[in-house]
Amino acid sequence: MVILRKVIGVAVLGATLALVSSGTADAAVHKKKKTAHAVHVAKRKKPVPAPAPARAPVVTRVSLDDPKRKDIAMQLVSSAENSTLNWRAQYAYIEDIGDGRGYTGGIIGFCSGTGDMLEVVTAYTAKAPGNPLAAYLPALRAVNGTASHAGLGAGFVTAWKSAAADGPFQAAFQQAQDAERDRVYFNPAVAQAKADGLRALGQFAYYDAMVMHGPGNDASSFGGIRKAALAKAKTPAQGGDETAYLNAFLDARKAAMLTEEAHSDTSRVDTEQRVFLNAGNLDLNPPLSWKTYGDSYTING
C-alpha cells in the first residue's frame, strides 16, 4: 500500500514537473519573441524633424560714424573742398578762396574769419606750446569775423604748412583739426540726422551742409536750411518719406548756396549727393561715382 502511494506520488510529481518545465519553456520562447520584437523596433529609424524655416537676413544699418563710412564722408568733402580724395594730405592746405571768410585751411576748410581756425590754433597751442602758429593767436583773435589778413600774411601761411609737416608738432596739429571737425561739425550733424531718422546719406548731407554753411540758425546756415526743408516735408522720425525729405533738404541747401557767389557752383549737390539719392543709395554704400566742379571721382570700397 505504501509502495503504491509512492508510485502514484512519483507519477504525479513527474507530471507536475513536466507541466512546469513546459510552461517555463513557453515563457522563454515568448520572451525571446518579445525581445526580438523590441530589437526590431529599436532598429527602426527615428523620424527626421522638418528643417526650421529659414530666417530672413538681418539688415544692419551703417551710420556715418562707422570708421569706414566716416572715411568715405571725408573723401566726399575733400573732392569738393580740395579736388582730391586724399583728405589726409589736406592738414597743410591753406589759401584765401575769396569768399569773404579770410584764410581757409585744413581738412574741412577752417576759416580765419569764422572762428574755427582760431579754435584749432588755440587747442593746438595748448597741446604743443612753442609751435609755429602760437605767435599768431593775437592776430587770429583780431581778424575773427572779418576777411582781413592783418597780422597774418605770408608768415602765417608758412607757419600753418610747417605745423602740418613731419616733425615734433605734426601729430598735435592733426589732432587739433580732427577734434574741431568732430566737435563743431561732424558729431552735431550726425546726431541731428539720427534724431531725424536719416541713414548714412542723410547724415552726410547734414555734415556737408554744416561744413560749408556753419551750424548757425540764420537762413544760409545749417539750421536755416533744415528749417526750410521741414516746411516742405516731414522727416522719417515724423513719419515722412526719407527720400522726399532729403530732396527737400537738398533743394533748400542749393538755394542757400546760390545766395553766395563763391558757392554758386552747386555740383556737390547736383552731381554728387542727388546722384546717390536718385539711385536710392540711402546707406551710402560703395561703389560710389560722382562729379564735383566737373571732375569725376569713384570710391570702390
pLDDT at residue number 195: 98
Bridge partners, 198 (sequence order): none
- Active site residue: 81, 96, 119, 242, which one? 81
pLDDT at residue number 32: 37
pLDDT at residue number 106: 98
pLDDT at residue number 258: 96
pLDDT at residue number 228: 98
The letter for the amino acid at 110 is F
- Active site residue: 99, 182, 251, 270, which one? 99
Q: What is the pLDDT along the chain (301 residues), one digit of tens a residue?
A: 433 333 334 343 344 334 334 444 444 433 333 333 433 333 344 454 555 555 544 344 789 999 999 999 999 999 999 999 999 999 999 999 999 999 999 999 999 999 999 999 999 999 999 999 999 999 999 999 999 999 999 999 999 999 999 889 999 999 999 999 999 999 999 999 999 999 999 999 999 999 999 999 999 999 999 999 999 999 999 999 999 999 999 999 999 999 998 889 999 999 999 999 999 999 999 999 999 999 999 999 7
pLDDT at residue number 262: 86
pLDDT tens profile 92-106: 999 999 999 999 999
Please report, for the chain, the start and end positions of each structural domain, with discontinuous segments joined by +: 67-299
Could you give the C-alpha distances from 122 to 115, 140, 174, in angstroms and in order?
Answer: 11, 10, 13
| 182 catalytically annotated | no
The string over 220-252, giving b where at least 16 C-beta atoms fall within 10 Å of a residue's C-beta and e elsewhere, is bbbbbbbebbbeebbbbeeebebbebbbbbbbb
| 99 catalytically annotated | yes
The letter for the amino acid at 249 is F
**pTM for the predicted model, two decimal places:** 0.80
pLDDT at residue number 49: 52
pLDDT tens profile 136-186: 999 999 999 999 999 999 999 999 999 999 889 999 999 999 999 999 999
- Domain 67-299 sits in CATH 1.10.1270.20: no
pLDDT at residue number 50: 55
Average pLDDT of the chain to the nearest whole number: 86
Query: What are phi and psi for residue 128, nearest 5 degrees?
Result: -135, 75
